[in-house]
Amino acid sequence: MPWLRDAVLPDDGPSDDIFRLAVPILCEMTHKDLAEKLGSEYGCGVAYGIERGLILANLRPEWARGLYHLIRSHYLQAHPEEDPLDWEEQVEQTVRAIPVAIPWREIEP
């Protein structure tokens, strides 16, 4: 897995990387543009939502997978001009922007 490599976490933890790097990729606009269009706290809300979504997806993966399929189905029906396959590119950009190393030896059962 080329994306799985050692990474130095930012001083503020992974939350800082999610805010700085993932939010602009997933929202497809800069923090400045997001603030001008939707308010200065919008990016923080998106970052918090991503964090909570990751926690939920790991604690209840079967539920998250089911909800993903419902969301994808909704987008295909309600927004045919949007291509949910664009999500794949956004995910790839996010994974490349925030490399992760899993400390296998430190994980307790």
pLDDT the model gives residue 106 = 59
SS3 of 2, please?
coil
Whether residue 37 has pLDDT greater than 70: yes
**pLDDT, average across residues 82-103:** 83
Return mean pLDDT, the chain: 83
**pLDDT, average across residues 14-33:** 91
Task: At 105, list the tokens.
Answer: 């030896």
- Helix crossing, 42-59 with 31-38: angle to 10°? 110
